[in-house]
């Protein structure tokens, strides 16, 4: 579904992504791991059109979409969540999810304010309510986002991304800040999303979750690809252990 060739992005002298190549197979859960500052979010920003690459190709269904705008990519089936939640706190849960659909339907916010047809609006609302229910926040659909717990906001963010009806969903640290129970629940939600046919690309620091859920793992370090493979392959890779997993395992042991 996605083929990335020799992708690079520099900010002045900082080579955030350097010559990274990998592919994402439709229907699978792929993860990107690596230490803080390894370039994971930058990679997502490149894939989702927020940044224009300094070099390389991003082939979506065989067509190079590098540098295309986020809304073009959204219409072609790519949605994402953000490491720092992009939830509008003064809107209801339902309105937040409806916002997620606007890129796809092209009913712009301005259009929304001027009044899209009532029928289209009602359909959008029904779909948003269905998605909020799906991610497990159904009881709070009418509540202001500011009244929701952090765990619920993380789910709401996923519902908003799903409102774009993605074929490829990019999740940037969906479990960050969640406790063990919430992490388990969100892992199950991601499994369900993948089982429904949406390809998932995940950035996550929670190694238990990553090892549990991923069909394929890409390891970044200092903007470069350090390794890739199955969970077992990556776990056993001496370079990965030295650069990253060693420290994670020690932390787990200490905790
Ligand atoms: N807009 C930007 N301008 C300048 N430098 C940037 C920008 N975005 C990212 N960087 C730099 O690129 C490098 C990679 O950052 P990035 O946020 O992609 O890392 P990350 O792997 O997502 O880290 P974390 O695990 O902490 O989220 C860092 O050195 C960062 O400071
Ligand atoms: Mg990041």
The model's pLDDT over 182-233, given as tens digits with 9 standing for 90+, comes to: 999 999 999 999 999 999 999 999 999 999 999 999 999 999 999 999 999 9
* Distance from residue 15's CA to the centre of ligand 2 (Å): 15
- Binned at pLDDT 50, 70 and 90, residue 115 comes out as low
Say which CATH architecture domain 80-165 belongs to.
3-Layer(aba) Sandwich (3.40)
Domain map of the chain by residue range?
A: 1-77+166-255, 80-165
* Distance from residue 172's CA to the centre of ligand 2 (Å): 7
- Give yes or no for residue 204 CB within 6 A of ligand 1: no
The DSSP call for residue 144 is B
Task: Check residues 117 and 36 and name the one with the higher pLDDT.
Answer: 36
The DSSP call for residue 20 is E
* Distance from residue 37's CA to the centre of ligand 1 (Å): 5
Task: Check residues 45 and 105 and name the one with the higher pLDDT.
Answer: 45
Q: Cα–Cα distance between 238 and 49 in angstroms, integer?
A: 34
The DSSP call for residue 92 is B
- Give yes or no for residue 36 CB within 6 A of ligand 1: yes
**pLDDT tens for each residue of 65-91:** 999 999 999 999 999 999 999 999 999
pLDDT of 249 over the 70 cut? no
- Give yes or no for residue 42 CB within 6 A of ligand 1: yes
1-77+166-255 shares its CATH topology with 80-165: yes
Q: What CATH class has 1-77+166-255?
A: alpha beta
* Distance from residue 55's CA to the centre of ligand 2 (Å): 20
Q: Cα–Cα distance between 144 and 89 in angstroms, integer?
A: 7
What number of residues does the chain have? 255
- Give yes or no for residue 11 CB within 6 A of ligand 1: yes
pTM of the model: 0.91
Mean pLDDT computed over every residue of the chain: 91
**pLDDT tens for each residue of 154-176:** 999 999 999 999 999 999 999 99
| Residue 220 three-state SS | strand
DSSP E strand stretches across 106-198: 168-172
- Give yes or no for residue 117 CB within 6 A of ligand 1: no
């Amino acid at each position: 579904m996605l083929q990335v060739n020799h992708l690079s992005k520099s900010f002045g002298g900082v080579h955030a992504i350097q010559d990274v190549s990998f592919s994402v197979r439709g229907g699978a859960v792929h993860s990107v791991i690596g230490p803080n500052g390894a370039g994971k979010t930058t990679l997502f920003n490149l894939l989702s059109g927020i940044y224009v690459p300094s070099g390389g190709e991003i082939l979506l269904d065989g067509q190079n979409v590098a540098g295309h705008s986020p809304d073009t990519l959204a219409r072609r089936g790519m949605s994402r969540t953000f490491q720092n939640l992009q939830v509008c706190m003064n809107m209801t849960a339902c309105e937040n999810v409806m916002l997620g659909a606007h890129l796809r339907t092209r009913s712009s916010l301005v259009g929304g304010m001027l009044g899209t047809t009532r029928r289209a609006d009602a359909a959008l609302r029904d779909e948003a309510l269905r998605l909020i229910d799906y991610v497990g926040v159904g009881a709070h659909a009418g509540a202001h986002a500011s009244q929701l717990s952090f765990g619920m906001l993380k789910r709401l963010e996923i519902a908003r991304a799903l409102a774009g009806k993605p074929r490829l969903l990019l999740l940037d640290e969906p479990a960050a800040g969640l406790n063990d129970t919430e992490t388990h629940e969100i892992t199950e939600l991601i499994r369900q999303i993948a089982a429904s046919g949406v390809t998932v690309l995940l950035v996550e620091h929670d190694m238990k979750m990553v090892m549990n859920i991923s069909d394929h793992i890409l390891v970044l370090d200092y903007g470069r690809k350090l390794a890739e493979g199955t969970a077992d392959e990556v776990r056993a890779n001496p370079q990965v252990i030295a650069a990253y997993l060693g420290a994670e395992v020690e932390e787990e042991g200490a905790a």
